[in-house]
Amino acid sequence: MSENNAAQSHVAENHTAGPHTAPEPRAERTLPAPPRDRRSEPMFPGGPVADPAGSHHERRIRSFRPRRGRVTLGQGDALRRLWGQWGLDIDGLSRLDLGELFGDPDLPVVLEIGFGMGEATAQMAAADPGTGILAADVHTPGQGNLLALAERKNLSNIRVANGDAIILLREMLEPASLSGLRVYFPDPWPKKRHHKRRLIQPEFIALVATRLRPGALLHCATDWEPYAEQMLEVLTADPHFENTQPDGGYSPRPDFRPLTKFEGQGLEKGHVVHDLIFRRKHT
């Protein structure tokens, strides 16, 4: 899974028609219709839109790339049929009532940023039906695949969010509304000049702290060693979080995080996967 990967710089260009021309003396003329920008149109009627936040919020360096990709017939069918029931666009225009979204005001909700094709998300949802998973990504095939998995496995505790997770956190989620945050295998942006695009930065963690309930877990995982080191440094420095490991280091992979195909391939190549599990302090 990647943001990860998920998440998140798809600003559509606006095209406007040229200036009006004077009408002919004996015939009324109309301007030609402006050209259509297909990048801003929904690929699936009633499904996720290309740029849900549009121009409502500031343009900034983002930690994700637009990832529409090739959608299979099954994924497209799931997007058309299920998006209105289990999907939402991150437009940043209103606050979310998570109890209403999941149909249970007492259900604890965990936000997962970047879920890839959704297999691990579906496994975690099936293993813990008493927790809601709000899964955010911009990968259209993955969104359709996760919706199809949720339907096939009868998982009513999954909701799929399309768009920028930072806008979701900042504009749409209430303070202390989340019972956890998962960021598994985000894009490591390995080139030094791209490090500013990495999601796990001090500003992001400060925002996350305002949306997590006391005692909530923030769980990150990566197979990119330099990024793991940055994550550990950033999380350790934030005064709102404490490391669940007494020695202040990395955590063993917990049983609730499935071993994904992507992760298995990395392990076969000798990659070392680091989990970091920090708890939101009560003060």
| Residues recognised as catalytic | 187
Question: What are the helix (H) ranges across the chain?
Answer: 73-86, 98-102, 119-127, 140-152, 165-167, 202-211, 225-237, 261-268
Which among 131, 144, 121 has a CA at the least distance from the CA of 1?
121
Helix/strand/coil for 33: coil
Using CA atoms, how far apart are residues 247 and 59, in angstroms rounded to an integer? 40
- Pick from 177, 167, 238, 182: nearest CA to 210: 177
Q: Strand, coil or helix: what is 45?
A: coil
Considering only CA atoms, which of 173, 154, 172, 160 is closest in space to residue 44?
160
Tell me the C-alpha distance between 270 and 247, whole Å: 25
Q: Which two tokens stand for residue 61?
A: 């360096």
Cα 227 to Cα 139, 185, 248: the distances in Å are: 22, 10, 17
Query: How many CB atoms neighbour CB 84 within 10 A?
Result: 10
Backbone angles phi, psi at 251, to 5 degrees: -100, 150
